[in-house]
Amino acid sequence: MSVKPQPYTSQTIRVLVVDDEPDICEYMTLLLTQSGYQVVALTNPLEVIDTLKADTFHIVILDLMMPKLNGIELLDQIRRIDTDIAIVIFTGYPSVDTAVQSLKHNVSDYIKKPFDVQEFTETIERILRGRGLLTDPEETLHKSIGATIRNLRRERSLTLKQLSRRTGLSVSLLSQIERAESSASVSSLYKVSAALEVRLTDLFGAF
């Protein structure tokens, strides 16, 4: 089983897996741990609420078909104590009714078992990115460079057009660099640093 590393995060992402089948819990723990997450797996749904109250989790992966307490009932209980935590429903018995009920409880996704590993891990990443919990190092670098250039340009009361004239780079490209919509080449960054009269390394800010 090949899983790509977890994107950059400034904190440990904690995942609670709830499934009455021990084999599923073991598999999910392995899968998510390999992606860099810290995992707690429970086979008894009656332990979930106390676990959530006792510790901090960023996402819950919840099976629907369980003895003692079914997933929808548990989902309702979770939402009574935490309206914000991300919840992913995964079930081997999907139905329109449970999908509708899940959506009413503001779940982040509804996944059918068995699932594709890559799609599943991408789903988890998408949910966490949407909550600002995961970032891409390259994306973060582009944003840092863009913000630094914009601040330096404004400190010097330069417009994009004026910076374009100094660097020979197009206004469109400079705008894209500042908004982190385009990665600048070393050559372009050198021209910008020279035009702003700073060292090339200064453009990287605190990154």
CB 205 within 8 A of CB 148: yes
- Residue intervals in the chain for CATH 1.10.260.40: 137-204
By mean pLDDT, which of 4-13, 25-34, 67-76 is the weakest? Answer: 4-13
* Whole-number pLDDT of residue 36: 87
pLDDT in the model for residue 191? 95
pLDDT band at 10 (very low <50, low <70, confident <90, very high): low
Higher pLDDT, 205 or 83: 83
pLDDT at residue 200 in the model:
93
pLDDT at 72: 86
* Range name among 121-135, 147-161, 181-195 with the lowest pLDDT average: 121-135
Residue range(s) occupied by CATH 3.40.50.2300 in the chain: 14-130
> Does the domain spanning 137-204 belong to CATH 2.40.100.10?
no
Tokens encoding 199: 């060292």
Whether the pTM exceeds 0.75: the reply is: no
Report, in this order, helix, strand and coil percent for the chain, each rounded to 5. Answer: 50, 15, 35
CA atoms of 156 and 198, how far apart (whole Å) = 12
CATH number, domain 14-130, options 3.40.980.10, 3.90.1150.10, 3.40.50.2300, 1.10.3720.10: 3.40.50.2300
Look-up of token digits 């503001």: 106
Spatial separation of the C-alpha atoms in residues 154 and 134, rounded to whole Å: 30
In sequence order, what DSSP letters do the residues of 19-87 get, joined into one string? -S-HHHHHHHHHHHHHTT-EEEEES-GGGHHHHHHHS--SEEEEES--SSS-HHHHHHHHHHH-SSSEE
- The arithmetic mean of pLDDT across residues 121-148, rounded, is 83
What per-residue confidence (pLDDT) applies to 179?
92
| Amino acid of residue 204 | F
**155-194 pLDDT tens trace:** 999 999 999 999 999 999 999 999 988 888 999 999 999 9
Q: Which of 25, 27, 5 is nearest to 134 (CA)?
A: 5
Structure confidence at residue 2 as a pLDDT band (50, 70, 90): very low
At residue 64 the predicted structure's pLDDT band, cuts being 50, 70 and 90, is confident
